[in-house]
Structure 1
Amino acid sequence: MSRLWRSTLPMTLGIMGLLGFNLVDAAFVSHLGTAPLAAQSFTFPLTFLIIGVQVGMGIAIAAIVSRTLGAEDEARARRLGGVVLLGSGVLMALLMLLLWVIRVPAFELLGANATEMTLIEVYWGPSLIASWLGAMAYVLYSLFRAHGDTRLPGEMMLLTSVFNLVLDPLLIFGAGPLPGFGLAGAAWATVLSFGAGLAITAFKLSRRDWMEYRGLWAEWQASRRQLAGIAIPAILCQMMPALSAMLVTAIVAGLGQTEVAAWGIASRLETFSLIVVLALTMSLPPWLGRCYGAGRWQEIRRLMNLAARVVVIWQLVLGIIAAVLATPLAYVLVGSDEVSAALAVLLPWMLPSYSFLGICMLVVSAANALGWPLRATALSFVRLFICFMPAVWLGAHLDGLRGVAIGSAIGNLLAGVAAWRVYRQALGDRGKSVRRHAYVATT
Structure 2
Amino acid sequence: MSAVRQSNSSSDILSGSIPATLKRMTVPMIFGMITLMSFNLVDTFFISLLGTKPLAAVSFTFPVTFTIISLAIGLGIGTSAVIAKALGSKNLEEAKFDAFISLLLAAGLVAILAVIGYLLTDPIFTLLGADSTTLPYIHDYMNVWFIGSVFLITPMIGNSVLRASGDTKTPSMIMGLGGLINAVLDPLLIFGYGPFPELGVKGAAVASVVAWAVCVVVIIYLLAVKKRLLSCSSGNQSVWGAVAKIMKIGLPAAGANMLTPIAMAVMTAIVATYGAEAVAAFGVGSRIESIACLVILALSMTLPPFVSQNYGAGNYDRVKEAYRTTLKFVMAWQFATYLLLILTAHWVSQAFGNEPEVIAIIKLFIYTLPLSYGLQGIIILTNSSFNALHKPMNALILSVVRLFVFYIPCAYIGSHLAGLTGLFIGAALGNLFTAISSYTWFSKTLARMQQRDLEVKVS
Deviations 1:295-327 (A, max 9, x none): 000110111111111111111110122124322
Task: Give the Å deviation of 1:215.
Answer: 3.5
Please say if residues 323 and 352 of structure 1, whose CA atoms lie closer than 8 Å, have aligned partners that are also in contact. no
Q: Find the counterpart in structure 1 of residue 322 from structure 2.
A: 303
User: What SS does structure 1 have at the residue aligned with 2:203?
Assistant: helix
User: What SS does structure 2 have at the residue aligned with 1:428?
Assistant: helix
User: What SS does structure 1 have at the residue aligned with 2:414?
Assistant: helix
Please say if residues 82 and 216 of structure 1, whose CA atoms lie closer than 8 Å, have aligned partners that are also in contact. no
Q: Find the counterpart in structure 2 of residue 15 from structure 1.
A: 33
Q: Does 1:418 align with 2:433?
A: no
**Which of residues 219, 222, 226 is equivalent to 2:245?**
226
Deviations 1:29-81 (A, max 9, x none): 11110000000011001111112111111100000011111111111111111
**Which of residues 354, 373, 380 is equivalent to 1:354?**
373
Q: Find the counterpart in structure 1 of residue 408 from structure 2.
A: 389
Q: Which aligned pairs between 1:12-411 and structure 2 lie closer than 5 A?
A: 12-207=30-225, 208-215=227-234, 219-411=238-430
Give the Cα–Cα distance (whole angstroms) in 1 for the partners of residues 170 and 343 of structure 2: 36
Please say if residues 57 and 135 of structure 2, whose CA atoms lie closer than 8 Å, have aligned partners that are also in contact. yes
Superposed CA RMSD in Å reads 1.6
User: What SS does structure 2 have at the residue aligned with 1:115?
Assistant: coil
Identity %: 34
TM-score, normalised to structure 2's length?
Answer: 0.91
Give the Cα–Cα distance (whole angstroms) in 1 for the partners of residues 146 and 291 of structure 2: 21
User: What SS does structure 2 have at the residue aligned with 1:292?
Assistant: helix
Counterpart of 1:353, as a letter, is S
Task: Give the Å deviation of 1:113.
Answer: 0.5
Q: Structure 1 residues 362 and 11 mapped into 2: Cα distance closer, same or farther (>3 Å)?
A: same
Q: Find the counterpart in structure 1 of residue 9 from structure 2.
A: none
Flag structure 2 segments of 5+ consecutive residues without an equivalent. Answer: 1-18, 452-459
Give the Cα–Cα distance (whole angstroms) in 2 for the partners of residues 58 and 187 of structure 1: 23
Counterpart of 1:211, as a letter, is L
Give the Cα–Cα distance (whole angstroms) in 2 for the partners of residues 253 and 166 of structure 1: 32
Give the Cα–Cα distance (whole angstroms) in 2 for the partners of residues 23 and 413 of structure 1: 27
Give the Cα–Cα distance (whole angstroms) in 2 for the partners of residues 216 and 398 of structure 1: 61
Give the Cα–Cα distance (whole angstroms) in 1 for the partners of residues 130 and 337 of structure 2: 33
Give the Cα–Cα distance (whole angstroms) in 1 for the partners of residues 296 and 405 of structure 2: 22
Give the Cα–Cα distance (whole angstroms) in 2 for the partners of residues 269 and 399 of structure 1: 23
Please say if residues 296 and 431 of structure 1, whose CA atoms lie closer than 8 Å, have aligned partners that are also in contact. no
Please say if residues 30 and 336 of structure 1, whose CA atoms lie closer than 8 Å, have aligned partners that are also in contact. no
Deviations 1:330-351 (A, max 9, x none): 1123333331121111111011
Task: Give the Å deviation of 1:137.
Answer: 0.8
Please say if residues 101 and 243 of structure 2, whose CA atoms lie closer than 8 Å, have aligned partners that are also in contact. no
Give the Cα–Cα distance (whole angstroms) in 2 for the partners of residues 299 and 2 of structure 1: 13
Please say if residues 324 and 348 of structure 1, whose CA atoms lie closer than 8 Å, have aligned partners that are also in contact. no
Tell which deviates more after alignment, 360-369 or 393-402: 393-402
Give the Cα–Cα distance (whole angstroms) in 1 for the partners of residues 102 and 364 of structure 2: 43
Tell which deviates more after alignment, 118-127 or 217-226: 217-226
Give the Cα–Cα distance (whole angstroms) in 2 for the partners of residues 115 and 59 of structure 1: 38
Q: Structure 1 residues 228 and 176 mapped into 2: Cα distance closer, same or farther (>3 Å)?
A: closer
Please say if residues 261 and 339 of structure 1, whose CA atoms lie closer than 8 Å, have aligned partners that are also in contact. yes
Please say if residues 31 and 334 of structure 1, whose CA atoms lie closer than 8 Å, have aligned partners that are also in contact. no
Counterpart of 1:249, as a letter, is T
Please say if residues 312 and 355 of structure 1, whose CA atoms lie closer than 8 Å, have aligned partners that are also in contact. yes
Task: Give the Å deviation of 1:217.
Answer: 11
Deviations 1:79-122 (A, max 9, x none): 11111111111111111111111111000000001010111111
User: What SS does structure 1 have at the residue aligned with 2:371?
Assistant: coil
Give the Cα–Cα distance (whole angstroms) in 2 for the partners of residues 130 and 27 of structure 1: 22
Q: Structure 1 residues 273 and 167 mapped into 2: Cα distance closer, same or farther (>3 Å)?
A: same
Q: Find the counterpart in structure 1 of residue 3 from structure 2.
A: none
Give the Cα–Cα distance (whole angstroms) in 1 for the partners of residues 365 and 291 of structure 2: 15
Task: Give the Å deviation of 1:216.
Answer: 8.4
Give the Cα–Cα distance (whole angstroms) in 2 for the partners of residues 104 and 159 of structure 1: 33
Give the Cα–Cα distance (whole angstroms) in 2 for the partners of residues 170 and 259 of structure 1: 29
Task: Give the Å deviation of 1:226.
Answer: 2.6
Please say if residues 18 and 160 of structure 1, whose CA atoms lie closer than 8 Å, have aligned partners that are also in contact. yes
Q: Structure 1 residues 46 and 142 mapped into 2: Cα distance closer, same or farther (>3 Å)?
A: same
Task: Give the Å deviation of 1:399.
Answer: 2.1
Counterpart of 2:161, as a letter, is L
Give the Cα–Cα distance (whole angstroms) in 1 for the partners of residues 161 and 362 of structure 2: 38
Flag structure 1 segments of 5+ consecutive residues without an equivalent. Answer: 433-443
Counterpart of 2:276, as a letter, is Q
Give the Cα–Cα distance (whole angstroms) in 1 for the partners of residues 284 and 148 of structure 2: 20
Tell which deviates more after alignment, 39-48 or 17-26: 17-26
Give the Cα–Cα distance (whole angstroms) in 2 for the partners of residues 8 and 95 of structure 1: 31
